[in-house]
A and B are shown apart, each in its own frame.
Chain A
Amino acid sequence: MDNIMDRIPILKMGQFLLVTIQVDMYDRLAMALQDDLTTKIVEHNSKGVLIDISSLEMVDSFIGRMLGSVASMSRMLDAVTVVVGMQPAVAITMVELGLSLSGVRTALNVEQGMSVLNGLVAHEVEGADYDSEE
């Protein structure tokens, strides 16, 4: 059942990586995405990752955890992760399930997600100066 071709595409957009999950992911596909993302962040020296889950009708504990992991890993690799387009039912279910996705930035749609990323990156670039200010 292993299929090497079976990958979620990761698009590079300038400093950012853009991932649109349009299929219901099985577990290994989710793990592969996590690996691919970390590799690409290092490869392209990306500063931000935008994950669009607007097509996902379900996020269970495994995928939720994967999203959380991607956010934590990219932060360690000096990148910011924003998850966008979560459906309300998904959000409700995740909370009921006990998944809070703490540490994951969210936005309502791609556009807002991009501006969040831009803002964060710009903020971080000048971060050295701001650090002393804060």
Chain B
Amino acid sequence: MNISLIKVALRYEHDIVLARQRARTIAGLLGFNSTEQTRIGTAVSEIARNAFQYAGGGEVDFLVGGSDRPQRFMVRVSDRGGGLEELDAILEGRYISKTGMGLGIIGTRRLMDYFHIDSTPGTGTTVLLGKEIPSSAAVVTPQVLDRIAEEINRHTSQNPFEEIQQQNQELLVAMNELHQRKADLEAMNRELEDTNRGIVALYSELDEKAEHLNQANELKVRFLSDMSHEFRTPLSSILSLAKILSDRIDGDLSSEQEKQVRYIHKSAEDLLVLVNNLLDIAKIEAGKTEVHPEKFEIGNTFSTLRGMLKPLLVNPAVKFEFGETDGFPSMLTDEGKLAQILRNLISNAIKFTEFGEIRVEAETDPDSSEITFSITDTGIGIPPGDLDRIFEEYTQVDMPLHNKIKGTGLGLSLAKKLAELLGGRLTVESILGVGSTFTVSIPICYVSSAETVPKSMLPLPDVTRLPALVVEKILVIDDEEVGRYIMKGLLTDTKYRILEAAGGVEGLKTAAEQQPDIIFLDLMMPEMDGVETLMRLKADSSTCDIPVIILTSKVLDDAEQTALRKSALAVLSKESITREVVLVNIRDAVVRFAKPKI
């Protein structure tokens, strides 16, 4: 066991002197006589000089080996130089030094009892010197070592030159540490700079990506909106034509044909729901959806929903229950959108429940400003891992029942978006195989940054109390032949004469020449569109009194509706058009426009 006494760093030439003086002092304190002290000092001087000269510096470590006699005074001189290449030659005395000394190592070996040199080219050299402590001296114990260390320090402070050297050594150590720390800091700084540059690069990349994503999203929204619109037009036609067929307007159908037509109608309706959902999502994403708050009672909404959804429930094993709504406050929010949310959730529950029950409940407490609706089913449930995904668009959870049921995966996504639009939120809890509970919380009062005034509904005229019809000629302006055909189909068996115009220009001409009683005008037309045609009709004195009913498959926002209503009598949607609607509107037109004339 070696106990280290003191270390001397070899950085400058003076350190060689310090090392040999230390060696001599310690040897004296350990009980060596003066000749031995000189030998040890000289040996240390030789080896320390080698370390300094050939390796550029190193360290001298003074140790005491062994806890009992015989003890050894050991000196280890180590460096991190290039190592000795011809160590064997040196030890055998065959080596001739270029610097002319060549005595150091061999001479040192002669001066000491123990000498061991360990040198690896490239990693450095360690020389261990040792001399047995004379038996006349006291056994060196840790206490003795402490005393010696104290003595060395005291000895140092007695001599100002050595004191300075000592302090110099300490300074050197401190300086070296500082250098090391500075180097470390510089390295770290470089690393940080690199990291920083990397982060900046990543940021700009992310920015770019975000920009791309934004553009892609915008494109998607525009695409959805445009495509949905394009889809609605032919779909409306299919629906209307199927209706004409099933209403036997064009003659009787065989029972098989009737079934087929019913299927066509049903499929077209399904497709329309899908397209409408897509359009709704696109509109919400584009921020174009407007909320129309109205005052209404939850009970009424529930009964409407019950009426609407009962027919969907064809499975007798499933009960369909609505909870109590007595004593609930009236809500001031968009009833249509709330109904849409609930409808989506309920039809979803119906789809995935094979037996058991579906409960729709509403809850509120007096302090709360929200009403919480919950739709609980005993259906197949949702795997925990999919709970977050189900609100994403086009997501369908892979489940056995799903293979039987077709869906677009838009319903829940739309419901969630609508709930958020109304300032509420939609959450779900589900246990696989047991059932799911969807919870929607909607504020009782819709609060919007821009206050929207509830739209006053135009009361529909009472059809039974209308005066006799005085309409003879009806002009249909629509670029699509199907559209005109449908109008003709809807108005067969009436006394009206249908005039057709396949565009705005032709329509203006026909209107001026034929002076129809009512004009049905399409909005989306090539060349001259519906809005311009309408303006020109109203600008022309010969046609300005003719009532115009807009008939379009375009989904109009509030502003567009209001603008159109200034000049047009009514705005009808092509997809909801039926013979009754058309007739009611014609009568309405007569009632309103007959007044000033009569």
A binding-site residues for B, Cβ under 8 Å: 1, 23-28, 57-62, 65, 87-90, 92-93, 96-99
Contact = CB atoms under 8 A, between A and B. Distances in A.
B13 A28 contact: yes
A132 to B, nearest CB: 38
B35 interface: yes
A23 B17 CA distance: 10
A97 B13 contact: no
Contact of B107 (A26, A90, A97): A97
Contacts of A92: 35, 38-39
Interface residues of B, number: 28
Given A27-B13, A61-B107, A93-B111, 4 more contacts: A24-B20, A58-B38, A88-B35, A98-B106
Interface string B5-33: 00000001110110011001000000000
A1 B49 contact: no
Interface stretch (B97-105, B271-279, B331-339, B530-538): B97-105
Contacts of B100: 65
20 contacts: A1-B12, A23-B161, A27-B16, A27-B49, A57-B37, A57-B41, A59-B42, A60-B49, A62-B45, A62-B49, A62-B101, A88-B35, A89-B34, A93-B35, A93-B42, A93-B111, A97-B107, A97-B111, A98-B107, A98-B110
Contact of B17 (A25, A61, A65): A25
B480 interface: no
A62 B37 CA distance: 18
Nearest to A3: B14
A25 B14 CA distance: 9
A60 B104 CA distance: 9
A68 to B, nearest CB: 11
A48 B12 CA distance: 34
B529 interface: no
Nearest to B20: A58
Contacts of A28: 13
B506 interface: no
B46 interface: yes
B299 to A, nearest CB: 100
Contacts of B103: 61, 97-99
B41 A1 contact: no
Scoring B37, B41, B46, B106 by chain A CB atoms within 10 A of each residue's CB, the highest score goes to: B41
Scoring A23, A26, A59, A87 by chain B CB atoms within 10 A of each residue's CB, the highest score goes to: A26
Contacts of A89: 34-35, 37-39
A59 to B, nearest CB: 7
A60 B110 contact: no
A61 B42 CA distance: 8
A27 B13 CA distance: 7
Given A24-B20, A58-B24, A62-B101, A1 B35 contact: no
Nearest to B14: A26
Given A61-B101, A61-B104, A62-B101, A97 B35 contact: no
